Amino acid sequence: MGVSNRQPAVHRRIVVIGTSGSGKTTLARNIAHRLGIKHIELDELHFGPNWTEVSEEVMQQRLVGALAGDCWVVDGNYGLLRDYIWSRAETIVWLNFSLPLIMARLTRRTFRHVFKHEELWHGNRESLRMALMSRDSILLWALTTYRRRRKEYSFLFGSPQYAHINFVELHTPRQVREWLESLTQHHRLPTRG
């Protein structure tokens, strides 16, 4: 497990990043539950009904409102919003898993969403056509962004601009479980942010 910079006594503002399918939202929900803080899913802010993408201006307005509190956990990789989010973050957790693991998880998750007709946000549901035969396929997206994200995050973790952030890099689900367990009761905050 790679940890750099400082290890704050209390985690109040956390960002979870990683390739699509790495488990960002699941981990962020678990962190929010464990610490009693607000969970913000960037995809939920980004997509409206029928998979319509909101404008950058609307996304920024939604984000400003969502981050108004002092305690939160955000999951997502939106580069256009990175400076705003990361400038406020104390801890960033990078799920830097292998591509085979990510693709296996993403495939299972996608097919579960499709066959159980699970709603993601605002009435949106994944379809088999969208998953397998669309240029917007989440599986294709993960394959084409995997290497770029690893290179980008490795660079950003060393950037002086983000020296205030405690970076945590996790390579396996076991490391994720161990890190999550390390968020002991003394980290729990008295109120939701």
Which superfamily does CATH assign the domain made up of 2-185 to? P-loop containing nucleotide triphosphate hydrolases (3.40.50.300)
Domain coordinates of the chain in residue numbers? 2-185
Where on the phi/psi map is residue 169: left (φ > 0), alpha (ψ -120 to 50), or beta? beta
Tell me the per-residue pLDDT of 99-134, one tens digit each, with 9 for 90 and over: 999 999 999 999 998 888 888 888 888 888 888 878
| Residue 146 tokens, joined | 């995997």
For residue range 25-58, list pLDDT tens digits in order: 999 999 999 999 999 999 999 998 988 999 999 9
Dist CA 149 CA 10 (whole Å): 28
Q: Give the C-alpha separation, 56 to 134, whole Å.
A: 23
Say which DSSP state 49 is in: G
At 2 the pLDDT is: 53
User: Residue 185: which pLDDT band, with cuts at 50, 70 and 90?
Assistant: very low
pLDDT for the residue numbered 13: 95
What pLDDT shows up at residue 40? 97
- In which region does residue 122 sit, left (phi positive, over 0), alpha (psi from -120 to 50) or beta (all else)? left
Mean pLDDT on 77-90: 93
| Residue 111 neighbours by CB under 8 Å, 6+ apart | 131
pLDDT-derived band of residue 92, with 50, 70 and 90 as boundaries?
A: very high
CA distances from 35 to 12, 31, 95, 189 (A): 8, 6, 19, 6
| DSSP per-residue string spanning 107-125 | HHHHHHHHHTT---STT--
Does residue 6 surpass a pLDDT of 60?
A: no
Residue 93 has pLDDT above 60, yes or no: yes
Q: How confident is the model at residue 187 (pLDDT cuts 50, 70, 90)?
A: low
